[in-house]
Every structure is written in C-alpha cells, then in structure tokens.
C-alpha cells in the first residue's frame, strides 16, 4: 500500500496522530522503531542536516525531494514533507507536487508565505494574498496523480491578521481542496479551540521549543481538537544535545567504554533499527547461508 493510502486510512479512523519530525533516514527509522505511525520531514531540521544552515529558504525543491525519497523508501510508515511555499508560484507548486508524489511521501504542506520563505522561529512571516494561495492550492490538487496524495494548506497569517484572519484563510484553503489545515504560531488555548471548531478538515499543529503549544501535552492538544500533533524539531535537538554531551565526555576523559556506555546507543540497538537481521535472513535464503555474492 502506498504511504498516501496508509495516511488516508489513518485519517479515516478519526483517531489523533502524533508525528515526529525527522531529517534523515536514520532518524525516521528510529521513530518507526519506537512505534510512531507517522513522521514529518521538517524543513528547518532538513536545512540544518543537508547544508548546515538556518531555515531561510536556502535549499531547493530537488534537494528536498531527493531526501524525501530516501526517507520514504527507508520506512514502512507514512511520511509527510515540508514543501515550503511550493517553491514559487502555482506552476512551481504543481511541479513540486509531482516530484514529492513521485518520491513516495504521503503528502506535502504548502504555506502562504512570500517566496523565499523564512522560518517563523527566525523572523516574522510575510504572507501572500489569500487569492494567490487559493490558486496555488487548487493547482497543487490538480497536479497530483492520485487522490490519496495529501495536500496540507498552511497559513502563517497569525502574526499579521490574528486568529480571525487565519481562520478565514484556513476556510478558504479547505474550500480550495486542502486535505489538512495547519495554522502556524497559535497563541492560546482559546484560539486553538476556536480554530479546530471552525475548520471542517483535520487540523494539524506544530510543537516546537519556546512556542505556546509547547506548554501543552500531546493529549491536551488532541483534546483541543487537533488531529495531528507534530514535534518537528524534537529529534534533531535531542540528537544535537546528546552529541555535544558525548564529545564533552570524550574531550574530558578520552572516550573509554565505561564513560560512554550510558549515553551511547549499543551496536545491537543500532543494528535493530537498521534491520540487520532481515538482511541475514535474505542472505541465508539467497546464498544458502554463505557470504554475500554467492559461490564462485
């Protein structure tokens, strides 16, 4: 079953979904191994991982689509991709949909920021006119090859237009065909409930450090009416702190097995995540238990 069909089936279950933000194949496989049913490729963390830069619209559609293909191919759970603004106008968005759909992801988000976008965690967002974004969403829906492929309509209008303006945009984007709605930078529980009550589509929220949403638990956000709660930067921040801690210990103590044991993933756990046992079974079946490559 395609990832997009899996996600459609999950949405039909009417159950809330927690999504973990990932940035490479290993982080995606760890999230899958931990039991999560959905992962999202975060543009912010992907930019850091691919080119070591802040999220200022500096990576291209083809770079993201290539990494999205690798990630989607590495796991058996649905993957959502951050499609930024669609990388330009409605025509650019149509091509982006084709590329991401071909990459095997379940769906992609398109936001109404001006191009090139800026991460809202870095600078206040500037948005395009609502009519331009409606055209972009309609074009994106028209471009997809199958109806299963998910289009997420995202608005960053909260800072300039407030909750009422953001809801008006959300309703327009849903009417244009967006399957899921994402309003970024929500401030209060009242605004969150007002949004989910107003929008006749599954609504997604992103939780990141320092945002009001981070003050609520996953279950509280589900109770507010959100269907997908995404923790976009969680994995990379956890990995970054763990790597810094390991390097501090190495610099201080020289890196003995005893000093590192408590903070390092074991080889056995790493190979379990990577599915090494499955390849051993394949080798046994294909090569009769001999080494890879068969007999000479």
What is the pTM for the complete model shown? 0.92
Give the pLDDT confidence score for residue 277 in this predicted structure. 93
pLDDT of 259 reads 77
pLDDT (mean) for 259-281? 90
Q: Is residue 255 predicted with pLDDT exceeding 80?
A: no
**Is residue 296 pLDDT above 50, yes or no?**
no
The reported pLDDT for the residue numbered 62 is 97
Query: Regarding predicted confidence, which is higher, 62 or 125?
Result: 62
pLDDT of residue 116: 77
Domain range annotation of the chain: 3-238, 256-287
Q: Residue 101 — very low, low, confident or very high, per pLDDT cuts 50/70/90?
A: very high
Residue 166 CA to residue 255 CA, distance in Å, equals: 51
pLDDT of res. 293: 45
Is the confidence at residue 119, as pLDDT, over 90? no
Integer Cα distance of 121 and 100 in angstroms? 25
CB distance 67 to 100 below 8 Å: no
Bond before 37 cis per omega within 30 degrees: no
Is the pLDDT reported for residue 68 higher than 50?
A: yes
| Percentage of residues of the chain with pLDDT beyond 90 | 83
The reported pLDDT for the residue numbered 295 is: 40
User: What is the residue-averaged pLDDT of the chain?
Assistant: 93
Topology (CATH level 3) of domain 3-238: TIM Barrel (3.20.20)
Give long-range contacts, CB 8 A cutoff, 24+ apart: 157-160. Answer: 157/112, 157/125, 157/127, 157/183, 158/183, 158/184, 158/185, 158/186, 158/187, 159/120, 159/124, 159/125, 159/185, 160/124, 160/125, 160/126, 160/127
What's the pLDDT tens digit per position in 141-183? 999 999 999 999 999 999 899 999 999 999 999 999 999 999 9
Residues in the chain: 296
CA distance 133 to 68: 24
Compute the distance between CA of residue 199 and CA of residue 83 in angstroms, rounded to an integer. Answer: 22
Instruction: Identify whether the C-beta of residue 174 lies closer than 8 Å to the C-beta of residue 200.
Output: yes
Quick one: pLDDT at residue 294? 41
Q: Which of 140-149, 180-189, 261-270, 287-296 has the lowest mean pLDDT?
A: 287-296
Q: What confidence score (pLDDT) does residue 115 get?
A: 84
């Amino acid at each position: 079953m395609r990832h997009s069909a899996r996600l459609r089936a999950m949405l039909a279950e009417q159950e809330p979904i927690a999504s973990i933000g990932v940035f490479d194949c290993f982080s995606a496989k760890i999230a899958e191994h931990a039991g999560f049913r959905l992962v999202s490729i975060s543009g912010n963390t992907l930019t850091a991982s691919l080119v070591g830069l802040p999220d200022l619209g500096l990576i291209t559609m083809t770079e993201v689509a290539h990494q999205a293909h690798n990630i989607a191919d590495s796991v058996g759970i649905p993957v959502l991709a951050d499609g930024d603004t669609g990388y330009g106008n409605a025509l650019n968005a149509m091509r982006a949909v084709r590329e991401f759909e071909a990459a095997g992801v379940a769906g992609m988000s398109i936001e109404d920021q001006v191009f090139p976008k800026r991460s809202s965690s870095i600078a206040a967002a500037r948005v395009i006119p609502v009519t331009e974004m409606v055209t972009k969403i309609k074009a994106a829906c028209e471009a997809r090859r199958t109806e299963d492929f998910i289009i997420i309509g995202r608005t960053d209008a909260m800072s300039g237009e407030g909750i009422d303006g953001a809801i008006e945009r959300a309703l327009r984007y849903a009417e244009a065909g967006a399957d899921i709605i994402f309003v970024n930078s929500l401030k209060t529980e009242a605004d969150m409930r007002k949004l989910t009550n107003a929008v006749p589509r599954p609504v997604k929220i992103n939780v990141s450090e320092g945002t009001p949403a981070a003050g609520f638990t996953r279950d509280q956000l589900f109770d507010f009416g959100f269907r997908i709660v995404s923790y976009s930067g969680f994995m990379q921040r956890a990995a970054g702190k763990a790597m810094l801690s390991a390097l501090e210990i190495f610099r201080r103590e020289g890196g003995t097995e005893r000093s590192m044991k408590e903070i390092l993933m074991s080889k056995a756990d790493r190979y379990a995540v990577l599915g090494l046992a499955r390849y051993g079974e394949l080798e046994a079946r294909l090569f009769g238990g001999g080494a890879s490559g068969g007999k000479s």
